[in-house]
Amino acid sequence: MSHNLSKEFFAVYHAAVFEALGEDAQKYNVKIGITLSNHILKNLAKHPENEEGFKKILEDYFASSFQFSDIAEMKFNKDGSASLYVKGCDICPGNEMLRGMGKKGMCPIAHLVKSMMARTLKKNIELIGSEKPGPVGECYLKYKVG
């Protein structure tokens, strides 16, 4: 018998894991993102050498086996900034549960992208924030690329 992981289960599981981590949640959020990045990079046939290559590899991976959202689009801007636009994220409903308990939401995807960019583009990358323009599951993760 085969079944897919339900979005409801994933949201509850995400919230439960980070609730259980308590005071260490933020530290593990970063570590989970880096660990996911390591897994992706380890399984790439070739690492991207520039921003366009990074964008293609990241978007292709997010659209295939690591599909955590309906849309995940990477954009590099001429001003040295970058953003990942996400819509229909499966992690965000779990973060809403955490916020409902008075806790902070945890997004390992933000750290996954930061780690991958730093390691493949060999640049200093700073996560400068997120913007949530729409419904739960839609955001822009914003980075400074230096």
Pick from 6-10, 17-21, 89-93: least confident: 6-10
DSSP 8-state symbol, 5: P
Q: Classify residue 116 as exposed, middle or buried by CB count within 10 Å of its CB (0-12, 13-18, 19+).
A: buried
pTM assigned to the model: 0.92
Instruction: State whether residue 2 is helix, strand or coil.
Output: coil
Q: In what order do the strands lie in the sheet with 81-87?
A: 71-76, 81-87, 139-145, 125-131
Q: Are 88 and 70 in contact (CB under 8 A)?
A: yes
* For residues 40-55, average pLDDT: 93
pLDDT value of position 131:
95
Residue 108: strand, helix, or coil: helix
Length of the chain: 146
Q: What domains lie within the chain, and their CATH numbers?
A: 7-145 (3.30.1380.20)
Which pLDDT value is given to residue 3?
66
pLDDT given at position 65: 85
Q: How confident is the model at residue 6 (pLDDT cuts 50, 70, 90)?
A: confident
Question: Is residue 2 predicted with pLDDT exceeding 80?
Answer: no
Q: Is the pLDDT of residue 102 over 70?
A: yes
Mean pLDDT on 55-79:
94
Per-residue pLDDT band at 24 (split at 50, 70, 90) = very high
CA angle, corner 87, sides to 100 and 143, nearest 5? 90
Which among 145, 118, 115 has a CA at the least distance from the CA of 39? 115
What is the C-alpha separation between 144 and 146, in angstroms, rounded? Answer: 6
